[in-house]
Structure 1
Amino acid sequence: MPDYHDDLRLAHVLADAADATTMERFKALDLEVETKPDLTPVTEADKAAEELIRGHLKRARPRDAVLGEEYGVEGSGPRRWVIDPIDGTKNYVRGVPVWATLISLMEAGEHGFQPVVGLVSAPALGRRWWAAKGHGAFTGRSLTSASRMSVSKVAELRDASFAFSSLSGWEERGLLDGVLDLTRAVWRTRGYGDFWPYMMVAEGSVDVCAEPELSLWDMAANAIIVEEAGGRFTGLDGRPGPHSGDAAASNGLLHGDLLGYVGTRR
């Protein structure tokens, strides 16, 4: 099994730098916010954090490619860093502390690019989560101050907690009825949103979560963290990994039940 310790250590360095940049502008009264062509917001902090991470990677991993939400893809080769400088920009703009920087390293393999390192840093929450392929998933302040994560052992949907971001996206895809049926079948539902439900699945405090429309940078880090915690991460079509444009994550025991309600493969 490859040792990704150096890459994981670098991801923490990148996250430290990004956290300093994003926290400096969080709740700033003069924060600059623009609207992108897809009508989603982007702030000066999004751009600054991604530029900072790209600069670090250019020095530390000059041969690796980089894909980021704000500046696209640069470089080529069998290794690619995937960056979401601020996942949850709408929360960031409104002063809600649920946002994070997502950093993943993906490697080319038999089934295309797959994440081998993932880190999610939510500095306004004081939380960080990370994983490397074959080495488990952890949460804590640093590599030397961490606890291992494991998904829940809930085996019945009626005992499960289901988390989602919003209902409008499901309605737009014609999948809302299945989601509403799922909310009636589970024990508890909460709309935590963005990266957080996936981290809760990895920690075992949420059992299933799903979203109907996502980009690779929204999912790559989450996928490896959930899987290394013992869970499953697929698209709504059941395809493993973060490439389906949507996501379903679970403790593994409930994955078939989850896809039975929100899956697109019929």
Structure 2
Amino acid sequence: MTELDLRLLQYFTVVARHGNVGRAAAELRVAQPSLSRQMQRLESQVGARLLDRSARGSALTAAGKVLLSHAEELLRAAERAVIEARATTEPDRLVVGHTGNLVVTPVVRELRRRHPEAEIRTVAVTGPVADGLLAGRVDAVIARLPLPDDGLCLDRLHDEPRALVVPVGHRLAGRTSVELADFVDEPLARYGDPTVDAWWRVDPRPDGSRAPDGPLVGALGNKFELVAAGEALLVLPQRPTSTGFRDDLVAVPIRDVPPTPVVLATRSGPPSPLVAEARALARELLVH
């Protein structure tokens, strides 16, 4: 069986990304001659030359390209294996994440009551939910779909209707509800993630047509500014009140689009006792 040092494999992915051993060594905080020797060791383990070295840098050989195509998945699989192995123990620590305006407090409060000796923390998750879970930075996250299901376990809790956010003076602001046809030609603010963007802008539409593109903005507050300025509209979860955002905006329910599922996302595989209990409590306390 071929022996492969995962540390060398990680070094290799950094060298491949930079195309230069010197820059890779600076990122990895190792000496350049040492990193060059490590790459030679990896080539010896693989049994093939992986890098074409020249004064201009280090380019991947055909063998190097093949190895790189598998290396990142191998590293992720190793990380998941360690996380799942740790989950079989009796941990006294749990990190619960929340996104948007979703509330996970009832679950956390009950866990703390049942396990006063455990360290149970909550954090706001601003980056990709899957990345935080698979990297072990959080153990459970309440979030809205769409989310990738590869490597995740998703417990569906409830659904949220979607609403169209428009400026107060907009032609649709006084409506009690709207349909897609009512704003078919209106540009909608876009999200950076293609899957998330397609869901919230309903793109493509049921008839196959594409949603008009609006500005690409990362921060939610900036999207509100765009809507208030009349540059784009926005589709978001419907809030309990008719506005729910700010005084110069109105949220109008959309009748003919499916609601957005709210889930508790955890890593797939055997859960730790605290994670299993958090999932059960979420199904008990957050389903409505």
Do they fold alike, i.e. is TM over 0.5? no
TM-score (norm 1): 0.31
Larger Rg: 2
- TM-score using structure 2 length: 0.29
Q: Going by fraction, where is helix more abundant, 1 or 2?
A: 2
Bigger RCO (CA 8 Å, 6+ sep): 2
